[in-house]
Amino acid sequence: MRFGNNHRTALSLTLALASPAFAASEESEGFLEGTQVHVLNRNYFFSQDYRNGDFARNPNTGERQSQHREWGHGVIADVQSGFTQGTVGFGLDVQGVLGLKLDGGNGVVGNGVGVPGIVSRSGANFDGEPKDEYSKVGAAVKVRAFDTEVRYGDVRPTSPVLYASDIRLLPQTLRGLVFRNTSVEGLTLQGGKLESSSDRNASNHRGDLGTVYAGRFKGANDVIYLGGDYVFNDQLSFKLHTSRLDDIWNQSFARFDFVQPINETLSVNTGLNYYRTRDSGKALAGKIDNDSWSAHAGLGYGAHAFKLSYTRIDGDTPFDYVWNTYDLELDAASQISDFNNPNERAWEARYDYNFVGLGVPGLTLTTRYVRGTDIDGSRAGGAYSYYNGIKDGSHWERNVWIKYVVQSGPAKDLSFNLMQATHRVGGDHVAESNVDEVRFIVEYPLDFRL
């Protein structure tokens, strides 16, 4: 689907059609009575050790960095009001976040935005000295009518073509309007128009939009998206989403996933993910003609799960997504690399184990190996021309993830997450680095009701 100049009218019509035509309204608990408070304490250690002579550049001094090593504590507080009573209910969501640097000097901190990391640096471009602390407050007004909720303000969309990132110390937000509708059983519709981004380590809400691999563009005024997720039954589900990033691209996504139980302990799973991206308008990032897809097949047996997947990038530019967002739905996307380089082909083998099978509920293990080959960016243009030196690149990544969530008692839902990754490049692949990475994340959520 392509959005033309009449996208505002189309979005308004979508919102109108999303509300079912019946007179009775769902009873609301009330603005104050329905208020919920969620507080998440997140303690995050992040380390990258570069290998084989590879390095990063210190954004403050320009000097080589052979290692990133950062440790921080984040507090993420969400206050979500209930809705006022009546056919149309009104409410307010407020989020406050605070990041504290526990360790990390100028020589080992990245910028937490374009360069992986968690500690913020001072300055509009995150290239000053590391900050000891950083914070921000955002809010969104909301309206509910029947089965439709609309929010305007600082929001976190969850579409495969626009998914606000929460993979570092603090979450990303975007500013604009979003809606969500659940009128049809099994079907969730969502969409919106966002005009700016607040980066994970930013203290403001007016950051420029753009793309992860092409950078930010002041000329990209908004991103509009619309999509639906449909759960047919416990076995079959579908997704269909589309978006327009102003003067950069039109991007669409389709997915199906199927699970078939064989008996009480054995099941099979298969699925397909597909992204289609084409440049649009002024094509600020250059010409884009990209089809990216992945397919997977898996087997579940008791506490064990096995999966094989294949990801293919067809295009002379990388598969790209909106600036600083994440959760792209391609199977090969990993802890360090997205395995999304121009013309790349990637295989993945994955094994998961749930230790409930050994009487330890809450403990899980994931191991993955991904290998990508045939990387060729020699014909990339525009903002992606930095791939031009790659004609036959390859790389691989190995992940080991261990997570434990406390199941009961005063510390219920306290979680410990250890993530280790090893990434190595081959051929003439110079767009990525040889690096060993460790993340250790401790989270403790607290929920309250007024």
Domains of the chain (ranges plus CATH)? 7-449 (2.40.160.10)
DSSP 131: P
Task: Please list, in sequence order, all residues whose beta carbon lies within 8 angstroms of the beta carbon of residue 172, skipping any fewer than 6 positions away.
Answer: 156, 164, 165, 166, 197, 198, 199, 200, 324, 325
∠ at Cα 395 (115, 57), nearest 5°? 25
Give whole-number Cα distances, 4 to 102, 243, 275, 289, in Å.
Answer: 48, 11, 20, 19
302: its two tokens: 């008791």
**pLDDT value at position 114?**
74
**pLDDT value at position 27?**
57
pLDDT (mean) for 417-424? 98
**pLDDT value at position 22?**
34
Q: Is the pLDDT of residue 209 over 90?
A: yes
Nearest 10 degrees: Cα torsion 111, 113, 115, 121: 0
Q: Which residue has the tokens 């139980």?
A: 261
pLDDT (mean) for 10-38? 59
Q: Is the pLDDT of residue 220 over 80?
A: yes
Q: Is the pLDDT of residue 10 over 80?
A: no
Q: Contact 131/105 with Cβ under 8 angstroms?
A: no
% the chain with pLDDT above 90: 88
Confidence of residue 12 (pLDDT cuts 50, 70, 90): very low
Q: Which of 98, 276, 129 is nearest to 201 (CA)?
A: 98
Q: How far apart are CA 449 and CA 117, in angstroms?
A: 34
Confidence of residue 16 (pLDDT cuts 50, 70, 90): very low
Which pLDDT tens digit goes with each residue over 154-198?
Answer: 999 999 999 999 999 999 999 999 999 999 999 999 999 999 999
Which pLDDT tens digit goes with each residue over 329-346?
Answer: 999 999 999 999 999 999
